[in-house]
Structure 1
């Protein structure tokens, strides 16, 4: 599953590489004088573009698999009661679960560094300096997180972290009458 996700990432990130090869588009973006970049950092392209254009950027996201959404803005994440994503623990952990939580936290950044290796390579080329994953994400002006604090574990957060859980959900609408008509015709045959 991990290899499949890395392959999918590489496929989508190819579009970002093409963007930086197209000087006309880069010139257009630079001359447009945008105020900021609103991006989902899943593929990191928007983040690299923001750094390239020296623009502030805002993340609109669900979260990283490696807890960067809390460590990059320097939000404390106490391992004693804040479970890591891949631990499947609750906030009521035994001693051994806390040890497991700590070990997972040590491996998370390596996981993300491998996952985002292509983005790090491209950003180092584009920005003409060595760039770490933390360098790319820790200067986000605002983190708009699609978490609902009601469903998350209690944890300290920073002032530039805004929780908007459920913003991408909407009330279900009744199906159009035509759909029911087609269904009745299909069932009667």
Structure 2
């Protein structure tokens, strides 16, 4: 990665502040719950301080998305409870970190993604069928949509409202972000998830990396086909999630090359790994003897 391509949090805010062409803009935000929201919320708070109007559309049932004085919250009902949501999310994270073979871990994650996808699809369906809320969004004359395409409901809304979209994400399952942006991902250079490989591989390791990438094709269909069907019904034409993702104006990728392997990026993809860091001072406490080496 060439020097200067990694964007710091101030650069992220500067990019988003240009939405209204140096004037206060109006931003529609369709977030994803969980840690996805925790990173986005801080950016929204500062955008509001800089004079932009922020409208957040979110389900009534969520783990972390709460109303704030810094933005307008538009909520819609969903057919599940918070207890159901938290239960399946905890189960998903538990199986994601279990030990086992690649295929055991893959199928465990696949089952977890199926459960999480059901919540996302159900929530998105309720939003798109809420005629009163959709009418409000149509009449509000937003400048752009800020969304996390991990759950592509905001991507569908951006297409319906004919608005430029800014993606704020850590990644998309099965490498759909590579496909949508036409980023090359050669198996001899970019390690696949769960392989424990580095970006320096022998020939046999490259073969292994290629084989591990094959299940991603099935994972994509499994995870995003329900959204493609939902988008086609709502937009009244045949589309896929990949078709809609290709229309993203800016991809703000929440990764850092200190923690992630190098990968090719397109010009409209900007690494912003710093936004994941909490801006807090370390507590001034005495460290017991023998623990100093753990902190160095």
State TM-score, norm by structure 1.
0.84
The aligned residue for residue 21 of structure 2 is none
Change (3 A) 1:4 1:30: same
Alpha carbons 1:47, 1:136 under 8 Å: kept:
yes
| Runs of at least 5 residues in structure 1 that lack an aligned partner in the other structure | 176-189
Alpha carbons 1:147, 1:165 under 8 Å: kept:
yes
Match of 1:115 among 214, 218, 223: 223
* Aligned-residue CA RMSD (Å): 1.8
After superposition, what is the alpha-carbon deviation per residue over 1:83-125, rounded to whole angstroms, capped at 9, x for unaligned? 1224331111121221122233343232122112221110010
Q: Structure 2 matches for 1:20-169, cutoff 5 A? A: 20-169=128-277
State TM-score, norm by structure 2.
0.55
| Runs of at least 5 residues in structure 2 that lack an aligned partner in the other structure | 1-107, 284-296
Alpha carbons 2:152, 2:241 under 8 Å: kept:
no
The aligned residue for residue 180 of structure 1 is none
Aligned residues: 175
Alpha carbons 2:143, 2:163 under 8 Å: kept:
yes
After superposition, what is the alpha-carbon deviation per residue over 1:7-47, rounded to whole angstroms, capped at 9, x for unaligned? 12211331211111111111110111111110001111101
Alpha carbons 1:57, 1:140 under 8 Å: kept:
yes
Higher relative contact order (CA 8 A, sep 6+): 1
